[in-house]
Structure 1
Amino acid sequence: MSRRQRLIGLAKSTRDNYIPKITGSVTSLASGASKAFTNPREVYDEEGKVVLPKDTRIKLYPTYTRKLENKYYIDVAGWVSAPGAMNRKNRVMMSVIKQLMKRNSQDTEQQLQNQNAFLPVHQVHHKEIESDNESVHSAASDQSTSSIPGSPNSDAIINERLADFFAKSIPNTEIKITIGSESQHEKVINEELITDGYGYFHTTIEVDYKPSVIFASSMVTETIFAAQNVMIVPTKGLGVISDIDDTVKLTGVVGDKRVLLRNLLLQDFEAWKIPSIVKWYIDLSKRQDISFFYVSNSPWQLFPSISEYFNLVGLPKGSIHLKRYLGSIISSLLEPSSSRKRTMLHKILRDFPEKKFVCIGDSGEYDLEAYVDLAKSYPNRILSIYIRYVENSLSLEDDRRILKELLRLLAKKRTAEVTSNDKEQEDASNAQDIDLIDLSDSPVCSPTDSTSPKKKPPMKPKKPKNLQSNSIDNTPDLMSPLSSAISSQSPSVSVPPSSNVSSDGNSMIDEYRPPLPPRRSRTTPKNGDDYEPGSIYESLGFIELEDRDKKGAEWIRRVTTAIADLKNTNTQIHIFMDSDDQFFESSCNKLDEDVRVK
């Protein structure tokens, strides 16, 4: 074919194949846009308000109420949404999540089969029966094969726990908040607000009567409403600020993210339980005027699971503060904790200026830095920072070795504080015993009185160096290698071995001493940390550890920096393990002591 014929064939193909498709797409897009703009009643009513779906719901989250100067301040937080359909986007997301968990689940199933292979048949059968009768949530437990992604039971569990992630938020809709009163004769307060772009709302309402209930209703459809009891928190006493993931429930933030997803979306709630922590919290809750604030980096879409877990294990009631979900399921679940907690932590301490607090977190994320920042911002308000040790979170080589070093650093800091306090008390006691002004009636002794102390003679002035003669000391210095060498070669020669300076002004002893090892100090602190010269960062051991185990070195740096930042805050740091019964007992005793001091 000639060039002209090829061009004609290409033009015909374009005319017959591509132009009709493009034209049809543009026409359908234009008709759809025209339909959307010509039928506004599908989204908005005549007054411009958002038309809510029939199954729209309002969720109210647990918040706190405080009393200041005969007024009550009620925090109100919630979310307006509607159940989402399993559209193409949600189906793709569900498939991705299952694929992420699939490999880990296959490994777990293979391990279970290998374990059963070494058991007698009757034991395997007995084990299966026990697994089936384990609990009402046995379909999601580790020992049940129905927890494998793809099985009907596991799909139902995943769909239930992801329901709020697939839900459709209702933005820019009007909500009316009514604060009920314990007295029927009071005129209740109402406040109107609009949800944000993600369907959330949060406000603080001030009333001059004792509130009883929070009632939220839609101003578009009156049949859409929600109610919640008011939780009044004492303005004085002690507050416990606690993380949730890997602090009061096993989540698995550290390690394989597939395990994290499986724990969140498939595992039985009973498997989340940390018995020693739950018992500790229950013991703490028995103290008078103590309140709990749970602040986590988990999204609000996980609140139903968290609430069910709290009720199952009996954790103390308290306000719960999570983060907003911004539309990406995987990034929201796997996103590390950062500064999202900071705003809520500071708000709690501002709202309760007369409270003292203890902060509890874990080593899996950055709870230590968040709580240290809080203690620095509010000196003498944070009594203690407790960090739960999470397995494999401290080191790439040896977790227990780094944990031992961290505990040594913290114990050294506490010992130094006790010594400093004892010295200050001793100095204060000695200062009280000294009479700076003599107010006694005894007569003043005259200078000629024999009982008066004699005046000391004036100090003898020192002779200038240029007028001093060089004295020769013939006493041999046995510690000097130079003197021993000379004495062995020519005993009759007298040399000033103890003199450090020769006739030409240079050092004699330093020439024969072995050179010191080079100091490998870091001139620029890492990550902007500020430390003093001679600190642990300049030691050879730390630099070698940093070259071999960056994670362990980073934890030593974090704890050392935290100790320096808390120097003048009266805040103590404790790292504890789940099996440390002595710690739980001593922490409760310390809390009782703080209450008595207050």
Structure 2
Amino acid sequence: MLNKRNLLRSAYFFRRKVAMGKLWVGKKTGIVRKIMVLPFKGFGSNHEVFLIGRVIKDRGIKPAEEGHGRWKNFKSMYKRFMSWKIPNVRVRASFAGDVQTVVTDEEGYFEFKLSPKETIEEVGDVRKVQLELLDEVVRRQGKVTAQGKVFIPPSTAEFGIISDIDDTIVPTGATRWYAMFQATFFHNALTRLPFPGVAEFYKALVQGRDEKPDNPIFYVSSSPWNLYDFLAEFLEIHHIPKGPLMLRDIGLTREQFIAGSHELHKLTQIEHIFEVYPDLKFVLIGDSGQKDPEIYLQAVRDFPGRVKRIYIRNVSTYKREAKVKEIGQELRKLGVEQVLVKDTFIAAKDALKEGMIVKENIGDIEEKVVD
């Protein structure tokens, strides 16, 4: 009789064989003709930068346009989730004199930890990493390159911001699977709308007290990497400050039926950011619908003195709200205030009171929320 471990191992190797067979058929039949290196925006310091990405079949997904209907949106999202990943191929990265080569994993992902050999004179800007696929996947594929981007915050940053996405920036119904399915598959970056005032509030936080866009912002979400380009496009269209998106792989692995839990993924990424920027304190923004309060509480326990403020958008039932308030009491004992809010303007007023944003920006946030 199969135990869970053996069942998992069998399922994993069966899935691997199917994926390898699918790729072989795709190359033989010409379905897989064009390969792309898809980098995800990285981050780091002038000592070390981190960049991950994926090698996949070029999906040919075009930016969202006015008039795209539900079927067009569904087809684009289907392409994102039914990607043809390219495992076991070499990718080379070049950045500030450091050149490294890595091999993609079973899901086509690659990861670089680059150490600049040249002095980066001006930090606080997006830097480019040159990427090149070194192996031939399909015949006559030509040269396959891409430019990755890494963000290096300036030394003048007052604090950092780490935000969730689902039900924090944009309504998704993350606790209701059908509502989330509808929002994900039948809308696009134009028709998905953020909560009122989010763009203005995040801009105000990024600008801080000196009104210079120095404060780095990071987006940590349990959404799959398949949605990376969609979420990046969403942020740009709705004028929400850009920052690294730290998503997760939800595929089957040797160890788990679903790779990485929601809580573990988010906590690991948040604490990684803390470690990369040991001199920065952070504002954490999330919602009450899933486990953001619990995750943020653990982050405060693990890294005392690193969190300035926590804002939680209240999207829950009365029972869950009571639990979130209990967590707020625990956080207060640790010296961190959790502010439970019903809208963005309430969070902005608190941030103004705490001296994290300036009064000149409050009017724009209030106008968006009241409208």
1:65 is matched with which residue?
44
Verify: 1:265 aligned to 2:180, yes or no: no
Residues 42 and 574 (structure 1 numbering): CA distance in 2 closer, same or farther, change over 3 Å? closer
Deviations 1:164-203 (A, max 9, x none): 2111111111111111x4xxxxxx2210111111111112
Counterpart of 2:8 in structure 1 is none
Is 2:351 the partner of 1:587? yes
Q: Which amino acid in the other structure matches residue 375 of structure 1?
A: V
Please tell me whether the aligned partners of residues 204 and 357 of structure 2 are also in contact (alpha carbons under 8 angstroms). Answer: no
Alignment match of 1:559 (pick from 321, 325, 340): 325
1:79 paired to 2:69: no
Q: What secondary structure, in the 3-state scheme, does the structure 2 residue paired with 1:384 have?
A: strand
Secondary structure class of the residue paired with 2:45: strand
Deviation at 1:582, TM superposition (A): 4.6
Counterpart-to-counterpart distance in 2, 1:562 and 1:275: 25
Change (3 A) 1:265 1:593: closer
Written as runs of structure 1 = structure 2, the 5 A alignment for 1:281-430 is 281-287=202-208, 288=212, 289-326=214-251, 337-390=262-315, 393-395=316-318
Structure with bigger strand share is 2
**Secondary structure at the residue paired with 1:282?**
helix
1:3-82 residue pairs with structure 2 within 5 A? 54-67=33-46, 72-82=47-57
Corresponding residue of 2:336: 571
CA-CA distance at 1:367 after TM superposition: 0.5
Amino acid paired to 2:43: Y
- Counterparts of 1:327 and 1:587 in 2: how far apart (Å)? 41
**Is the Cα contact below 8 Å between 1:359 and 1:386 reproduced in 2?**
yes
Instruction: Tell whether 2:101 aligns with 1:192.
Output: yes
Which residue is 2:115 aligned to?
A: 206
**What is the aligned partner in structure 1 of residue 91 from structure 2?**
175
In structure 2, the residue matched to 1:219 is 134
8 Å contact 2:170–2:193 — kept in the other structure? Answer: yes
- 1:137 corresponds to which residue? 66
Distance 1:42 1:267, change over 3 A: closer
Deviation at 1:360, TM superposition (A): 0.1
CA drift of 1:53 comes to: 5.2
- The alignment of Structure 1 onto Structure 2 pairs a total of residues equal to 310
Look up the match of 1:274. 195
Shift of 1:591: 3.7
Following the alignment from structure 1 to structure 2, what is the Cα–Cα distance between the partners of residues 266 and 193? 36
**Retained in 2: the 8 A contact 1:363–1:394?**
no
Which letter maps to 1:290?
Answer: N
Could you say which residue in structure 1 is the equivalent of 2:13? none
> Hey, what does 2:4 align to over in structure 1?
none
- Identity of counterpart residues, as a percentage? 22
8 Å CA contact 1:242–1:294 kept in 2: the answer is yes
CA distance in 1 between counterparts of 2:52 and 2:286 reads 24
Q: Are the structure 2 counterparts of residues 593 and 259 from structure 1 closer, same or farther at C-alpha, using a change threshold of 3 Å?
A: closer
SS at match of 2:114: strand
* Bigger-Rg structure (1/2): 1
Point out where structure 2 has 5 or more consecutive residues left out of the alignment.
1-19, 121-126, 137-141, 359-371
- Taking structure 2 as the reference length, the TM-score comes to 0.75
Structure 1: distance between partners of 2:26 and 2:80: 22
What SS does the aligned partner of 1:275 have? coil
Deviations along 1:455-488, one digit per CA (max 9) or x if unpaired, are xxxxxxxxxxxxxxxxxxxxxxxxxxxxxxxxxx
| 3-state DSSP of counterpart to 1:64 | strand
Measure the CA separation in 1 of the matches of 2:273 and 2:81.
Answer: 28
TM normalised by structure 1 equals 0.48
8 A Cα contact 1:251 1:272, kept in partner: no
Cα deviation digits, residues 115-172 of structure 1 (max 9, x gap): xxxxxxxxxxxxxxxxxxxx943444xxxxxxxxxxxxx3222111221211111111
CA RMSD of aligned residues (A): 3.1
The CA distance in 1 between the partners of 2:33 and 2:65, in whole Å, is: 32
Amino acid at match of 2:52: A
CA distance in 2, matches of 1:336, 1:155: 31
Does the aligned pair in 1 maintain the 2:293–2:327 contact within 8 Å? no
1:118: which partner in 2?
none
Alpha carbons of 1:248 and 1:353: their partners in 2 closer, same or farther (altered >3 Å)? same
1:228 and 2:148 aligned: yes
SS at match of 2:166: coil
Q: CA deviation at 1:566?
A: 4.7
Structure 2 distance, partners of 1:385, 1:565, is 9
Structure 1 distance, partners of 2:289, 2:324, is 13
1:155 aligned onto 2:100: no
Instruction: Name the residue aligned to 2:7.
Output: none
Please tell me the residue identity of whatever aligns with 1:367: D
Query: Residues 31-64 of structure 1: CA distance to partner in whole angstroms, max 9, x if unpaired?
Result: xxxxx9xxxx9999xxxxxxx9541111010111
Q: In the alignment, residue 55 of structure 2 is paired with which amino acid?
A: V
Distance 2:118 2:241 in 1: 27
The residue aligned with 1:495 is: none
Q: One-letter code of the match for 2:40?
A: Y
Tell whether the 8 Å contact from 1:295 to 1:345 is kept in structure 2 after alignment.
yes
1:564, CA displacement in angstroms?
A: 2.5
Q: For residues 390-413 of structure 1, what are the alpha-carbon distances to aligned partners after superposition, in whole Å with 9 as ceiling and x for unaligned? A: 2xx223xxxxxxxxxxxxxxxxxx
Letter in 1 for 2:107: Y
Q: Distance in 2 between matches of 1:318 and 1:591?
A: 23
Which residue does the alignment assign to 1:108?
Answer: none
